Amino acid sequence: MAFVDFQPTLGNFWSSFFGSEFVGFEWFSYFFNGSDFKMIMRNTLVSSVLTLLLGFIVPILLALALNEVRSQAFKRIVQTASYMPYFISWVIAANIFVALLASEGAVNELLQLVGLTKESIPFLQEGKYFWGIVSGANTWKEMGYNSIIYLAAISSINPDLYEAAKVDGAGRIRQMTSVTLPLLRPTIVILLILSVGNLMNTGFDQYYLLGNSLNREYSDVLDTYSFRYGLQNSMFSYAAAVGLFKSAVAFLMVLAVNSIARRMNSNSLF
């Protein structure tokens, strides 16, 4: 579909598909040379990198912290609280952030209470705040669930290694840096490769729900862009070309990062 000028008015899907004019790379050229290309790619990459940095590091830190908790009751409470946002739909989560970041919301009231600001900050009305907001929202929603993988990997570490470290005089921090993190490295590398493959796949729900006409210059990414042109403007072939470009870049990024990881420490997907 990305290589034809799909016209859904020619009959059923197959007659419309095979009856459409073949245009080759015309839609790709239209996208690359369009006035929105630089903005869309900037928003997609910057917000994805911020989400990757926060969403990759925070679950590791959370798993390491939970592993050091000795009270099982407290540990279960923290785990449950951190997992819960993952099961909340983005419709509900976005409304929570809209309420918190409103002019009279809890965040603005807290900032004014401690004297950091004198007036309310229009967080969702100014684009410069959007990347940080959506990265924080993604991390808050995913960190508890993502930490499960690291906790499972930590639980498989032989306890004798910690006992040997204690005999050598290692404290908790030294055990974490000398035993836990090195043995977590294969898991971290695999998940990093998969995360890099999702750099172009920012997600649709959070950007569509938190974005608006006032912050579109910062909130419009590949997913919302293809949705707007594909479904709202009925440019199906153009949206398919944008989606194919996103998938091709993600595939190449996975291959590149996997190759680098294999050469550096022999840990890779394939």
> How many C-beta atoms surround the C-beta of residue 151 within 10 A?
16
Taking residues 248-256, report their average pLDDT: 86
The Cα 123–Cα 130 span in angstroms is 7
> How open is the CA angle 231-250-39, to the nearest 5 degrees?
60
Mean pLDDT of 107-118: 89
Structural domains of the chain sorted by starting position, each given as residue range(s) with its CATH number in brackets = 39-265 (1.10.3720.10)
Q: Which residues pair with 21 in a beta bridge?
A: 5
Q: Is the pLDDT of residue 160 over 80?
A: yes
Q: Rounded to whole angstroms, what are the CA distances from 50 to 85, 134, 135, 196, 215? A: 19, 9, 6, 12, 18
Supply the pLDDT for residue 29.
93
In whole angstroms, what is the distance from residue 189 CA to residue 191 CA? Answer: 6
The secondary structure of 27-62 as a DSSP string is HHHHHHTSTTHHHHHHHHHHHHHHHHHHHHHHHHHH
- The confidence score (pLDDT) of residue 189 equals 83
**pTM for the model:** 0.84
Which one of 167-171, 221-225, 230-234 scores highest in mean pLDDT? 221-225
Three-class SS state of 150: helix
